[in-house]
Structure 1
């Protein structure tokens, strides 16, 4: 069967459909001009960086989760409590800038550049497997989602998990088909280790689906693949496991605590929560809100149909296996968040989105290359749909960033008022929104209860006798017993924080 025009240009695919026999990659249309093959992915990555720097980064302060991660390596204040589900991997990415300066703008620029480089390297991993234009389109589909643009310059692990998972699947396919090549094996191990370093639980479905693929395809049944997968996961997750024994009394205890913090993992259906969150919610917990803007989640509902169409479009071509494995890995990485967690955050599904972008790109390019009388009509419909999709993504992104920038100004004013009331380093802040406010003020954040409990009420009271301590409250909530004699001062209100105020210990200057 002759290969369709859509799928021409691959450099590493055998002519037959299905899993390729073991052996080195063979030359194809792009051999002799490898520099041109990277132009498409490079252009997408550069546009991704530019969009972040113009649309997202300016004026965007640190979020709550970001503050936790940055404080582990930053110099503005003491480290915030790192709860059981979190890993330190993304803090390492922020460290080169956060350890040198307190400038959030510098951190945003650094991470925007780094995320663009990460996207390019992840796409480049697949160049021997798929045509450059397929990868460029897949990268563009992923990078233009408002959630991806929003989190690109942020200190959050999910985008980096997506890059690592995408690269791992690409390296796995290359290693399975070229057993004599050491570089794909090294790349596979490094990519899996990177995922485990960022979020150890996300490495589990990734390793399982790749190990299952190695078992199901006879030509891929090589112990070295299983060994590399296991070694990569162990190397990347070693710090998290060691910390589990040091701080929690064992791995099982840490997993139990992580499950408790995440609302007790179990069997849930959170698909509708994720659809609602796409309207502009960075965290939907609990997600019992009305779905007022259905158009923002339409692409999510259409995605399974496009993925199925992409896999079908790749049938009978050399690109069927990459499309199928990308789909399987993407679904495996999405299932835990769709059916075991009872809340939603759009960033959780980044690894699934980037992998599922591969079959979607194959489908769109098949439509573009179709030789039918309805080709123009199909192209017109697809172009209009994509333009409408981009317009919706931009509108939601603009709404979210404007809201966060407003909060950033308010949080800065609150930190200034803490300083004005004598709450200056070395100081401690407890209560509502303590993490974000404490780090801005150069204080430590300590909670006597909840998920981040790291001090007892009695110890916090004793601390207030010798250094400035502030307790933040809202909504007319009564003062905790140990702080009932402390001076109360009003604060600028944050969203969902009516009557925001602080109680200041007598030791404050």
Structure 2
């Protein structure tokens, strides 16, 4: 996209960044390259598929039966993984593909902000977002939250560029909202709501093509989810009811405490009773709201809309996770962090620019040194948390692989079925179908399970030391050393 307005001009109150600001070194490209390098060097060699990834990937992997796909999920991530899985089932190849895509998308989404806030601020915003441990860990994972965040960054930029008179920008709004909704329906709705509010309230955005772009993108992204709701659940309302039950009962509640407790992990806090991280490690999170308020209050006129609009959308995207869910996961707020990085980067850059213009070399150096130290400490702390959670994820996914290898050695070969504890990831690793008799992923009845034992090998997994389920008391036990699990294999019978 190319914006025709290259001066600090204005179109109905929406202004572009001053055109005389030099681009200089390609900082944004360097940020994207560093982000890619971290994923390829650290995540790709160590991390196999996780629990949720196995569910998403199995939907489009032609080699393995699809795991149960619960009501709250959306299928957008399958569009990213399907091209690779059609050729190979290699997890490192899939990781490399997603790492390349995420780095390119990070660059593309934040580059859209260059005419609005300038090249330095958009590069710093990208660095603040890419420097978060969740962004580093999930960039090459088959999970939707990061992609919602990148799409949200692009959507907000395109909306403002459309107000500057760029003809193709409404199409960018449509595509970005559609991608966000396709990745995660609820996030797409909570992104569209503040965008529509801006289109109705803020005069520069009060144009039918922009409203149509937001509504059309939401409808296009939600179409598959709605069709599946009628095919599998008998309608949208019933699917929403089932989704609420799966999530543990969604309703008005304060979940900010759970998000704070899980800020440095675990990756899924359900129920969230872990000890909170040290206060020093959470200061950046607690400081984020004041920083956003300060950014909105101090932004210059040409960047005012480019400051409050991402803040508005970040607040919208954080609402369901702060006020409706009974549990938490650090990745849930990735879309809000992606948008919040833009005004924070603007505020930090403005402070640095003002410091450079002040008289007195000592005062200038002190201000700039403090800013650099704070940013460096934040990035270092985030990388340390990233390394810690990467090691934990590596241990978990290695246990899945180890359990799958021992099951296959014990006689479980495709076509086969795995049920019980950790069935989806271990079943996927063992190249088997997975199903469960109860819980949020209930997808088979006891009668159907009995029929499957007559046709194929079946294994039920339980926590080590636990007894076999009543239906498997006479099945052959198989210890799975190093996994914390025990398997019980069904005796093969002929119909």
Instruction: State the TM bucket, normalised to the shorter chain.
Output: over 0.9
5+ residue gaps, structure 2 = none
Question: For the Cα contact (< 8 Å) 1:428–1:469, is it kept in 2?
Answer: yes
Q: Mark the CA change 1:262 to 1:37 in structure 2 (over 3 Å): closer, same or farther.
A: farther
Q: TM-score, normalised by structure 2?
A: 0.94
Question: Are 1:450 and 2:435 counterparts?
Answer: no
**Which residue in 2 is equivalent to 1:501?**
486
Question: Which residues in structure 2 correspond to 1:83-102 (within 5 Å)?
Answer: 83-102=70-89
Q: Of 299, 304, 314, which aligns to 1:330?
A: 314
Question: Which residues in structure 2 correspond to 1:47-66 (within 5 Å)?
Answer: 47-66=34-53
Question: Which residues in structure 2 correspond to 1:65-76 (within 5 Å)?
Answer: 65-76=52-63
Q: Of 474, 483, 506, which aligns to 2:472?
A: 483
**Which residue in 1 is equivalent to 2:158?**
171
How many Å separate the matches in 1 of 2:411 and 2:93?
29
SS in 1 for 2:488: strand
How many Å separate the matches in 1 of 2:370 and 2:379?
14
Question: For the Cα contact (< 8 Å) 2:258–2:328, is it kept in 1?
Answer: yes
**Which residue in 2 is equivalent to 1:245?**
230
**Which residue in 2 is equivalent to 1:232?**
217
Question: Are 1:284 and 2:269 counterparts?
Answer: yes
Q: Mark the CA change 1:492 to 1:184 in structure 2 (over 3 Å): closer, same or farther.
A: same
Q: Please say which of residues 192-201 and 380-389 is displaced more in the overlay.
A: 380-389
5+ residue gaps, structure 1 = 1-9
**Which residue in 2 is equivalent to 1:200?**
185
**Which residue in 1 is equivalent to 2:144?**
157
CA RMSD of the aligned region, Å?
Answer: 2.2
TM superposition shift of 1:163: 0.8
Aligned residue pairs, count: 487
**Which residue in 2 is equivalent to 1:261?**
246
Q: Mark the CA change 1:317 to 1:508 in structure 2 (over 3 Å): closer, same or farther.
A: farther
Question: For the Cα contact (< 8 Å) 1:429–1:472, is it kept in 2?
Answer: yes
How many Å separate the matches in 2 of 1:24 and 1:365?
18
SS in 1 for 2:487: strand
Question: For the Cα contact (< 8 Å) 1:177–1:220, is it kept in 2?
Answer: no
Question: Are 1:28 and 2:19 counterparts?
Answer: yes
How many Å separate the matches in 2 of 1:119 and 1:139?
7
**Which residue in 1 is equivalent to 2:371?**
382
Question: Are 1:145 and 2:151 counterparts?
Answer: no
TM superposition shift of 1:218: 2.6
Q: Of 334, 349, 353, which aligns to 1:365?
A: 349
TM superposition shift of 1:99: 2.1
How many Å separate the matches in 1 of 2:268 and 2:493?
35
How many Å separate the matches in 1 of 2:53 and 2:289?
32
TM superposition shift of 1:27: 7.9
How many Å separate the matches in 1 of 2:433 and 2:70?
15
Q: Mark the CA change 1:29 to 1:283 in structure 2 (over 3 Å): closer, same or farther.
A: same
TM superposition shift of 1:280: 2.6
SS in 1 for 2:136: helix
SS in 1 for 2:140: coil
How many Å separate the matches in 1 of 2:466 and 2:324?
33
Q: Please say which of residues 135-144 and 258-267 is displaced more in the overlay.
A: 258-267
**Which residue in 1 is equivalent to 2:389?**
400
Question: Are 1:441 and 2:441 counterparts?
Answer: no
